[in-house]
Structures are given as C-alpha cells and as structure tokens.
Structure 1
Amino acid sequence: MSEKIAVRAMLLAAVSSGQGKTTVTAALARKLVQQGQRVRVFKCGPDFIDPMLLERASGAPVKSLDLWMVGEDACRQQLAQAAREADVILIEGVMGLYDGTPSSADLSRTFGVPVMAVIDAGAMAQTAGALVHGLRDYGPVQMAGVIANRIASPGHAKMVATSLRDIPLFATLPKQARSLPERHLGLVLPGEVADLDALLDELAAQLDFNQQAWDSQPLVELDLPPALESQRQHLQGKTIAIARDAAFMFLYPANLETLQALGARLEFFSPLADEALPSHADAVYLPGGYPELHASTLAAACKWTASIRAAHAAGLPIVAECGGMMALADTLCDSEGREWPMAGLLPGRVEMQKRLAGLGAQALPTEHGPLRGHTFHYSRLTTETPPVVQTVKNPSGVEGEAVYKLGSLHASYFHAYFPSNPEAVAALFARSAS
C-alpha cells in the first residue's frame, strides 16, 4: 500500500472560459498568503500567461498539470512535492470543467481533488444552484463549494447561497472596478500591469471568505510516489542560449528544469535589448512570446540579427517555437498591417490575423517517440519551404502544425513540453540535430 500525504487542495473550475477563474484563483491565493499560509498553485492544461500572474499572487512558481501532456505519473510527483512544501494546493482548471480530452474533471477524479466551482453570477441569482448542481452531477465530481464572482450586493449573495442547497457558498467577489487586462493570447503579462501587487491585494481584500466553510473542508490524501530515476545527461557541458524578454517569454519552467537535468548550462539573453548570442553558446532556444508587439524593435536589433545568422551559418542547433519562429521569418506583418524585416533564416512571411489559427494539444513524432505539447497562435506563416514533418493533434490524430528544418534550424508553431520526452529534447539541442 502506497504512502500518502494529506493536504488541503481544490481545483477551481467553471462552466466555461470567461467566468473569472484566474482572477478568483489569484485573489484566493493572495488572501491565503496574507493569512500566513504556504500556497502552491498549479494550472491545468497548457498555459504560459496565467501561471505568471498566479506566481505573483502566491509567491511560488506555478507548474502545469495535464494528464496527457504532463502525464499522470509526473502530475502525481508534482502534487506530492507541493504537498510536502505547502499548506494549500490550488489548481486552476482550463476552459469549462468537462471540456477537453482529458478535462479538468478527469484531473479532479484521478487525484481525488474536490472541485470549487467559480461562477459568474453577475446576470443570475437562483439559477446559480441549477448550474452548480449540473456541474457536480454530470460527471459526477466531488464538489467542495462555490465561489461566486461579480456579486452585486449581500442580498444577491444570499439568493445565490440559498439556491445552492447542500453545496456551500465558499466565497464571493464583487464586480471589479479594476480587472486584469487581456489581449489576443490571454491576459496581459504581469510586468505590463501597473501596480499589479496592489491590484492583487485589492482583489484579496474584496474576496468575502467563509472561514467556517474553509475549515470544514476535509484534507485530500495524495499518494507519495517513488522518486523518479535520474536523467541521463546527454547535454553535459553544453551551454544553451535562451531568449528571454518581453517578446520571448512563453516557456514552461519544466522545460528549463529538463534542460538542466540533461546537463546543460542555461544562459539568457535579450533580442529586444539587441544583445548578441553568447559567443560560447552550443545551441539556441527561442521560445514563443509576443514578437508582433515588438516588431519595430526587433527589426532594428542589428547585433541580435547578425548573431543568430552567424549561429545558423556555423551549424549551431536552433530550436524556435511559435514567436521564436516568427522572429526568424523574412518579414512579420503586425495587426496594424505594418511589415517589418525579421532575421530571415526561414524564408516566408508571417501575418497577424484576428481569428485563431491554431489551438490544442499536439505531439511531435520523433525517432525517440512522441514529444508532447500544444499550439496556440493568431498568426500565419506563408512559406515555400516544405515541412519535414507535422505534429499530430490529440485526441483526433489528424495532422497539426508544420515543422520546418533548414540546416541546424528546427522551427514550428508547436510548443513542446520537454519533460514528456527528454531524449527527443536532447537530440534537438545536440550538434547531431543539424
């Protein structure tokens, strides 16, 4: 019988996107931290921006939980580690509770973590009860309680609470005068929000918290799995230069940990600051981000452009994901129709559009097995360069994103989750990859 550890844990989920899950999770995390609790927050499914905000709210790194991309065993390891370090584990769900394969509900049932339903009550009262009971019973899932967002008054809160019957109203949050701003890929980056910590404190103060309901929640017993085997250090002695600034910041913390576990030394640089690649770099990682918002600066960054061209000419492995790939095309046309010259390693033109061009879980076939990840972008690349392979969408199995290989450059809209296949990752960053 496996050893277990008990911790207070809940999964905050909703009927759909747009209900205020991230705002509520951030407010709750900040409130608990203010009470002296050690809080660890996870994000269900692939996401880059929400975890940055939740990290600011909780004061601790936020990792991904996903039964397919991360894998059940790795999810169990992460939850167990968090339980060792924290008093409370909060998991923010993705989309609606039952959306996706696997869904947030699947995660809840797999690990026995109860659901805290987040509802936008701004345009309803007693119907809240029908909505929440439907969420609970459809699966079913274990329902811990409800946090009602955009509550107008104490009377409104009472009507919602009465409608829930046997499900406790855990907390309420009023309609916010200030909210977290958004743009086409989600919330605006934390560094771009003026007085973010003051806003998080304000949200925490506005969260009307039912301490009795909180104290009555039973602890969740999580399995303590055996330690993972140590990773073979295929990249021992290698230095990987990683772009990191406001244009290139979409990467999983676990990706960096995987590269380090493979033996690599990581060194960061900023194309936006016109920094050249470190001269001693053995490989380059250009993660996704918002190059379209900084196209004029990138177009004028001569040192950066010259250094990435020189690295490519010298045969250094270059792994470019989504925004990283966009910055290596010939030109980038921004959302206002302005065209900017980019680094020109990948012949073609990138154009921003209003409609979503790619979304969902995918896997890259490799000789070491599938490397799992996802895609999410609003731009399109027009190129005559044929792809060497295409990713496979989960769960449909149909073709996904094109993957381009030009010399030592490996480029795609696909965002890889490195821990899903470290051997394949090591091959991408090794000289043999060229």
Structure 2
Amino acid sequence: MTISDRNARPRLIIAGTGSGAGKTTVTLGLMRALAQRGLSVQGFKCGPDYIDPTYHTAVTGRPSRNLDAWMTSPEYVRDTFEKASAGHDISIIEGVMGLYDGKDPLSNTGSTAEIALVTQTPVILVVDVRSMARSAAAIVLGFQQLDPELNIAGVIVNRCGSAGHYTIVKKAIEQMCGIPVVGWLKRDEDMSIPERHLGLVPAIERGELKPLFQRAADVLMEGTDLDLLLELATSAPPLNEEEVIPATTAQADSANAESGSNYDPLSNSVIHVNNRHVSYAMQPVIAVARDAAFNFYYPDNLELLEAAGARLHYFSPLAGESIPTDVDGIYLGGGFPEEFAAEIAGNQDFLEGLRRAAQSNMPLFAECGGYMVLGETLTDREGVTFDMAGIIPAQVQMQKKRAALGYREASSVQDSFLLKKGEVLRGHEFHYSTMTYRDEETIPYAYETKGMRGLKQEGYAAGNIVAGYTHVHLGSYPAAAQRWVEHCLAYRQERDMQR
C-alpha cells in the first residue's frame, strides 16, 4: 500500500455501540497488525482523553493526536487531522464512548459521530454480540438510521462465543444492513485493559503492556479481513486542502490582532512578540515537567507555545532534576503524581525550585497533577501523607471514588498571564483527588467552570501562578498561549536587567 495522491488520507474510525464494546482492543490490535505489515500508522483519539493516545503512541511509535470539535472547533479538527495524517499510509481514529455519545444528548456535539462527519471518515462499528444473534442486526440498523449522513462502512463483532456464532451474526447483519462484517474477536476474558487511573503510563513506558498489544493484534488477525479494512480505509474521499481552514493560524491571527503580536513561525532569526523583534538569544524558555508522573499534555498546547515564540525545555522531577536554570516559565502538566509521591517529596531541589519560581513571580501554570504538587501535602490511597511544594495553602487527598469528570468551560475569575478576566478556555476535568484549602473564604480562584452540573469556582491564581484541576486546550483560544509567552519574555527581560 503506497500513497499516490498527497490529498488522499486512507482512514478509519473505530467506534463502539457503547463504552466497553471493545473499540480500544480493536484499535490497538489493528494498529499493531498494520504496523507489522510495514505500514506507517498515525493514531488519533476522539475527545479529551490522554490514556488512549498514550497506548497508540506505544503501538505506532509516533505521537497520537486528540480530535475534539467541542474543545476547539470543526475547522481546527480538520486542520489538525490534515497536518498530522500527511505522509502516513493510514490513519486510525479511536472513538469515545458510544458512536453518538458526547456532550449533548440531542445532537452529535462532542461525539465520535461528529468527528466522523467533520473528517469524512468511514466508521467501523464494534458491536458486543454476547448472548445475541439476529438482534445484532437490529442494533447496527438503528445506528445506521439515527444519522444517515454518517458512513458506517463495516462492522467488527466482539466477544463471539464461537465461529458458528460469528457466522450467524454476520449473515443477519449483512442481510439487514447492507454492509460487510469484516471480522470478529472471540470471547477472551484475559484480554482486558487495566484500570485507567492506576499508573498506566509508567507501565506502558516500562513495556509491560507490549504483550497485551500483541495479543490484541493476534486475536484480531485470526478473524478479521485486513485487506477489506484497507479497502474501506482507501474509500474515504480525498481531503480538499482548499476547504481545510488552518484554524490554528486563523484563530491566532484574530487573537494577535487584539494583542498586537505578529509572530512569524517561518522566521529563522527572530521572533515577533507584541510588535517587538526579539532575537533567539532572548527567546523565552518554558520548563516543562515530563516523565511518568507528569505526562498529560495535549501536543497542540506545546506546539502553540512554540508557535507563539517559546522554546520548551523538558525535565524530569522523577530523575532527580530540579527546575532548569535560566528558564522564564514553568508548565506542570497532569499525570500520576500520587503514584510517585515519595519520589517527588524526596526531590527537595525540585520543590524548592518551584517555591523560588513562585517567589520571583515567574509565570507558573499547573493543571491537575501539577496543581496537586503545588499544595502543602499529598495523601495517597494508602493514607500515607507526603510534603509537597507548599505554594498553595491546601491539602490533597486521594480517594477511591471519582471526584470529577466532564467537559469544562473555564472562565477566568481575574486577570492573569494566561487570561484576562472573563476570557474563556475550554477543557476537561478528570481526577480522583480532592483539594482542601485551609481557608475556604479567601481562596483566589483561577476559574469559574461550567459543566453538566452547573457552575463552580475552581483552581488557584495568585501572583504569576495559575493552577487548577481543569486540563485546558489552548486551541480553544490561542491568544492565551501568546499572552503566556509574552509574560515569560517580560519576566526574562526584567530578570536580565536586574543582573
């Protein structure tokens, strides 16, 4: 299989009838099987999830990208897909929840179906057929009829009891629905994805899940027609580059017109921040914590910071590293700090570096796991308490029950290096910890967030610190990335003047 047309983007969306139907197993098995054929596979994930893209990256060997038309926009999604899929043999997009499940029960907003329509991608529907035969056809037919514009191109049936069971289900679906059943997976209780909050990323990085990925591929290849899947992938219409709006550029230009910036990402010698020419010797540097404890970053966020003129300096607190010297900002992403609380607490250089940065008014942005580390203490699931940075006057407690889940519109409560008061970033919240402040009445909240359950005050913003549980997507308002970099540059210039 080769790419003959640069506008051609062979692609499939692997969608499920609901959560637990088996789409992650099918996605990983398919990615691995295609890679074993020598194909270059680019992974994508519908929605805000961080874990599944980490799986994809481990299987394909290249970073997977999130596609979320609610957090960003349909134009942004098309642009992201067009750029990331270029030069690869096939793109595999994993869905989220059920095909039509999203933010709004009355529309496709935030759903896999929305991404399929936006990117004009054929859908492979994964159906769990345990304890059913012809009824499986009724399920597929219902999915077809709910939105006839959607191209449900084929079906993979999961958890079949036997080859005979598969034959019955296949005949029923193909007779009533007019689309091929391209394969099946037998019932396999040993092939299950581990719970999502128990340190999966460290396990992936150690290679512990490679046997699971290979087993998924082996099981898929036993009963699936890969050649037919490739035909369906190549049936996707070519992407018309003239119709793909470069949303990142368009939105950034609009924001730059407001802020007065005109950064040119093609320049090799200068950056332009707030109408000032700045040499790369003066380029602001943002330290980004990146290891098994801090690893939840949307690639778009990092790229938007770079496009705004920042240079990113990655470091690992778990490797004993402190805040790098001569940086002008800090980005602490989410992840699993509770799994490494002892190591983090033992890295006093790192914690002291955070405290010094806060005292010097360096722009410091932290979300979810990073937010937790800025507190005074962190108590893990076993009840052991560890000292953290102590920048935020609060204690963090892990719990077995999920504390929050869902999309958020985060409106800034006050002016900061990220947002002006009232400006909004969109994002997602998902955590098992709670943050308890010593004085609830005097909290300088960062955001007022809007979710399914209404409004709430969230996070912490004081001095040049902005922190909270919400994982924001800078693609929802690229002006925030530009403003962040401008504040880092101002910090650098003031620091250099004082030397």
**What residue is the counterpart of 2:224 in the other structure?**
209
**What residue is the counterpart of 1:371 in the other structure?**
425
**What residue is the counterpart of 1:46 in the other structure?**
48
**What residue is the counterpart of 2:194 in the other structure?**
181
Give CA-to-partner distance per residue, 1:76-99, whole Å, 9 cap, x none: 112222443223221111111111
Separation in 2 of the partners of 1:275 and 1:111? 42
Q: CA deviation at 1:226?
A: 5.2
Is residue 364–residue 390 contact of structure 1 (8 Å, CA) maintained in 2?
Answer: yes
TM score, norm. by length of structure 1: 0.91
Say yes or no: does 1:220 pair with 2:237. yes
Separation in 2 of the partners of 1:358 and 1:408? 26
Q: CA deviation at 1:259?
A: 1.3
**What residue is the counterpart of 2:463 in the other structure?**
407
Separation in 2 of the partners of 1:189 and 1:159? 42
Separation in 1 of the partners of 2:58 and 2:475? 24
Separation in 1 of the partners of 2:373 and 2:213? 33
**What residue is the counterpart of 1:74 in the other structure?**
76
- Give secondary structure in 1 for the equivalent of 2:133: coil
Match 2:9 to one of 7, 10, 24:
7
Deviates more, 1:83-92 or 1:193-202: 193-202
Where do 1:320-359 residues align within 5 Å? Answer: 320-359=366-405
- Give secondary structure in 1 for the equivalent of 2:408: strand
Is residue 334–residue 352 contact of structure 1 (8 Å, CA) maintained in 2?
Answer: yes
Match 2:184 to one of 165, 169, 172:
172
**What residue is the counterpart of 2:267 in the other structure?**
none
What letter is aligned with 2:121?
Answer: V
Q: Are residues 15 and 80 of structure 1, via their aligned partners in 2, closer, same or farther at CA, if it must alter by over 3 Å?
A: same
Q: Are residues 428 and 212 of structure 1, via their aligned partners in 2, closer, same or farther at CA, if it must alter by over 3 Å?
A: closer
What letter is aligned with 2:161?
Answer: A
Q: CA deviation at 1:186?
A: 8.9
Where do 1:181-200 residues align within 5 Å? Answer: 181-184=194-197, 189=202, 191=204, 194-200=207-213
Q: How many residues align?
A: 431
Q: Return the structure number with greater helix share.
A: 2
Separation in 2 of the partners of 1:397 and 1:421? 23
Where do 1:385-404 residues align within 5 Å? Answer: 385-393=442-450, 398-400=454-456, 402-404=458-460
- Give secondary structure in 1 for the equivalent of 2:7: strand
Give CA-to-partner distance per residue, 1:129-152, whole Å, 9 cap, x none: 222222222234321111122233
Q: CA deviation at 1:239?
A: 0.8
Say yes or no: does 1:241 pair with 2:243. no
Structure 1: gaps of 5 or more residues: none
Say yes or no: does 1:319 pair with 2:376. no
- Give secondary structure in 2 for the equivalent of 1:221: coil
- Give secondary structure in 1 for the equivalent of 2:70: helix
**What residue is the counterpart of 2:317 in the other structure?**
271
What letter is aligned with 1:136?
Answer: Q
Q: Are residues 294 and 123 of structure 1, via their aligned partners in 2, closer, same or farther at CA, if it must alter by over 3 Å?
A: farther
Separation in 2 of the partners of 1:400 and 1:80? 37
RMSD of Structure 2 on Structure 1 (CA): 2.6
Q: CA deviation at 1:185?
A: 6.9
**What residue is the counterpart of 1:88 in the other structure?**
90
Match 1:295 to one of 338, 341, 350:
341
Q: CA deviation at 1:75?
A: 0.9
Is residue 53–residue 190 contact of structure 1 (8 Å, CA) maintained in 2?
Answer: no
Aligned-residue sequence identity (percent) comes to 39
Match 1:119 to one of 107, 111, 127:
127
Q: CA deviation at 1:42?
A: 0.8
Is residue 9–residue 220 contact of structure 1 (8 Å, CA) maintained in 2?
Answer: no
Is residue 28–residue 204 contact of structure 1 (8 Å, CA) maintained in 2?
Answer: yes
Is residue 128–residue 160 contact of structure 1 (8 Å, CA) maintained in 2?
Answer: yes
Is residue 146–residue 171 contact of structure 1 (8 Å, CA) maintained in 2?
Answer: yes
Q: Are residues 58 and 303 of structure 1, via their aligned partners in 2, closer, same or farther at CA, if it must alter by over 3 Å?
A: same
Separation in 2 of the partners of 1:32 and 1:340? 45
What letter is aligned with 1:422?
Answer: P
Q: Are residues 199 and 388 of structure 1, via their aligned partners in 2, closer, same or farther at CA, if it must alter by over 3 Å?
A: closer
Is residue 53–residue 189 contact of structure 1 (8 Å, CA) maintained in 2?
Answer: no
**What residue is the counterpart of 2:106 in the other structure?**
none
Separation in 1 of the partners of 2:351 and 2:381? 22
**What residue is the counterpart of 2:63 in the other structure?**
61
Q: CA deviation at 1:320?
A: 0.7
Q: Are residues 24 and 138 of structure 1, via their aligned partners in 2, closer, same or farther at CA, if it must alter by over 3 Å?
A: same
Match 1:132 to one of 131, 140, 150:
140
- Give secondary structure in 2 for the equivalent of 1:67: coil
Deviates more, 1:379-388 or 1:278-287: 379-388
Q: CA deviation at 1:205?
A: 2.1
